[in-house]
Amino acid sequence: MVDTLKIESNPISRRDSFNIRDTHTRNLKPFNSGDIKILLLENISQKAVDILKKAGYQVEHHAKALDKETLIEKIKDVHAVGIRSKTKLTEEVLSHANKLLTIGCFCIGTNQVNLNYAASRGICVFNSPFSNSRSVAELVIAEIILLSRQLGDRSREMHDGVWNKVSKGCYEIRGKTLGIVGYGHIGTQLGVLAESLGMHVIWYDILPLMSIGMSRSAESLNEVLSEADFVSLHVPETPETKNMIGETELSIMKKGSYLINASRGTVVDIDALAAALSSGHIAGAAVDVYPKEPLANGPGFESPLRNCPNTLLTPHIGGSTEEAQRMIGIEVATAITKFIDSGASVNAVNFPQCDLRDIPSTDLTTLRIVNVHHNVPGVLKQINNILADYNVNKQISDSKGDVAYFMADVTVNDQNEINTIYEQITEMNESIITRVLF
């Protein structure tokens, strides 16, 4: 008995037509997907574990980061590794990763990975730039209120048995100005939340962006610093942002203003901030990130900010909510699965971004060739010469820096043809990694 498919024609809009996906497509897999090994560190969400196990992979899950020696030993035999912010994937570590295909950063930042070296080895890196935006924005709103009422100090005094009911230096946030430095996904959400509480919002970004709500853009960082009652930082870690808030910038801020840093630990000169807090020029600060952070929970945290007045110190928990970690787990684990199974590199951080439409489920003779190679002239000519005797259904190629990525769906007749294509592409001098997906 042959199954038949009844197709009904329903009128749809042109916009909706782009969102219709053929459900009768073939799910691609590496030929030996059961041998794919995944190493997850730093207590990554169980949802990510479930997604990767459902894909058929072997998953090793650790609650904490590993020391360098153990990490080097573990990474030798895995095809993908998932980390958060504590694990450092340096050139030294990655040089031992002979089977590694992809890295999942289950967080926003990727500065803990040597991205250029990973790309040179054909290792695709993914992150989650959006999923924890709401969690960070909500934390900042809470800190604005806590700082304006000196609640951190009052709570500590009560725990020490001291009753200190005061109103001097305590304010409502309604009508105050919030200055946002870095108007990306977190910055825009923070601005919307702040306006809903009656705050005025001014922001600065190096890119020309559209203001959301009643917020307005500033022409310079100094304009934000000089006008804002609260300054909140939301910038990446780059050479340009290192110590972007130092003694000079703190002196430009209004006397009695507040500084919040939930971005990267290198953005603020911690010693200069401690001095500004002790002098009273800065009325309070909330810091969630630090230049050097402990690798594990427990005692031993040291900072000049400890015991500074009206200073909230938190252990890099801006995105540490159940909701954010679940969404991050879904986003990054799905990206890892798609890259391993179908070669899709869309939204990669360090890699050319390529994808091909799915292969119909009825097509059982087409396989997908994916190849990472050095971005030099003549490589595509070599690949196309190799594929010249076969029916190439579709192909795509893109490059980023010194690395290029090629994908092609090719019709073959038998295993010998598969082996021939694989061996010839792999043997190219410029080839870094070649994979066959079926």
C-beta separation of 136 from 109 below 8 A: no
Of 84, 200, 316, 435, the active-site residue reads 316
If one counts every other C-beta atom within 10 angstroms of the C-beta of residue 385, the result is 10
Picking from 99, 90, 92, the residue whose alpha carbon sits closest to that of residue 39 is 99
Q: What are the DSSP calls for 5-66, one per residue? A: ---------HHHHTT---SSEE---BTTGGG-EEEE-S---HHHHHHHHHTT-EEEE-SSPP
159 is catalytic: no
* Amino acid identity for residue 338 in this structure: K
Picking from 257, 251, 315, the residue whose alpha carbon sits closest to that of residue 86 is 315
264 is catalytic: yes
Q: Which two tokens stand for residue 79?
A: 């095809």
293 is catalytic: yes
C-beta separation of 340 from 347 below 8 A: no
Of 293, 323, 423, 427, the active-site residue reads 293
What are the CA-CA distances from residue 235 to residues 36, 108, 165, 320 (Å)? 36, 11, 37, 18
Phi-psi region of 316 (alpha: psi -120 to 50; beta: other; left: phi over 0): left
Question: What are the backbone angles phi and psi of residue 406, rounded to the nearest 5°?
Answer: -130, 135
Residues with Cβ within 8 Å of 38's Cβ and at least 6 positions away in sequence, in order, are 52, 57, 58, 59, 60, 78, 79, 80, 81, 82, 336
If one counts every other C-beta atom within 10 angstroms of the C-beta of residue 93, the result is 18
C-beta separation of 267 from 133 below 8 A: no
Residues with Cβ within 8 Å of 80's Cβ and at least 6 positions away in sequence, in order, are 36, 37, 38, 39, 57, 100, 101, 102, 103, 104, 336, 340
Of 149, 264, 368, 435, the active-site residue reads 264
Ranges of H-type helices in 228-269: 247-252
Q: For residue 119, what is the enclosing H or E element?
A: helix 115-120
Write out the catalytic residue numbers: 264, 293, 316
